[in-house]
Copies of this chain bind each other. A is one copy, B any other.
Amino acid sequence: MPSPLRNGDTPLPAGAGGPPHRHQGRHFLSSVSEHKIRRLIALILLLRLAAFCFSLSAAIFMSTNSSRSPASPSWLHFHPFRFVFAANGIVAAYSLFEMGASIWEILKGATLLPESLQLWFDFSHDQVFAYILLSAEAAGLTEAQGKACAGAAESGGFCLQSYISVGLGFAGFAFLALSTLLSAYRVASYIITGSPFHF
């Protein structure tokens, strides 16, 4: 069922439909695209920054969740909380790397790794890390609602801090999931048109 409207025939400015005007149309398109590409990379950078901030603070909140008093429970005793810490730490490190890659792309106009490798790397890691982070947060939330806070009126601070860490992690996941959408679009666009952005 391929529709008769194909890529070369995407809406051009009026009168640029026929082959003689094609170059003019493409020039117009490419200057518009360049502007859009910069905006899209800036948007990706912003999402990465948000994911980095949230997951880093989730990891910090979780890892400092034991110093209150020697008697209070430590996050290290709860496997799901270790998972939350590890997943958030990995996502924070990955987001930092990706922010560097985006800034490089904005400054140099080319990807850090070879283009196809970079696009596949971004998409696959986004997708996998989003799944890992989400399952860590779901496990952490279940643990916080179950064992970790059961009959622990004395460890109210511990309980609250776990919830905050899990909540921050969920926010980090949301931004990671959004950047997964963009990197999926980029890789699909690269497969289909040979260019990472097509409008």
Of the residues B7, B37, B142, B198, contact of A142 by C-beta under 8 Å: B142
Convert A1-37 into 0s and 1s, putting 1 for each residue whose CB lies closer than 8 angstroms to a CB of B.
1110111111000000001000000000110010001
Q: How far is the CB of A125 from chain B (nearest CB, A)?
A: 14
Q: What size tier do the contact residues of chain A reach?
A: 35 or more
Convert A156-169 into 0s and 1s, putting 1 for each residue whose CB lies closer than 8 angstroms to a CB of B.
00000000000000
Interfacial chain B residues near A145, Cβ < 8 Å:
79
Q: Which residue of B lies closest to A135 (CB)?
A: B138
In the bound complex, how far is the Cα of B177 from the Cα of A134, in angstroms? 14
Other A-B pairs, 10, CB within 8 Å; known A2-B29, A135-B138, A185-B191? A2-B30, A5-B194, A7-B193, A79-B145, A138-B138, A138-B142, A142-B142, A185-B188, A188-B188, A188-B189
Q: Which residues of A are at the interface with B, using a C-beta cutoff of 8 A?
A: 1-3, 5-10, 19, 29-30, 33, 37, 79-80, 109-110, 131, 134-139, 141-143, 145-147, 150, 177, 184-185, 188-189, 191-198
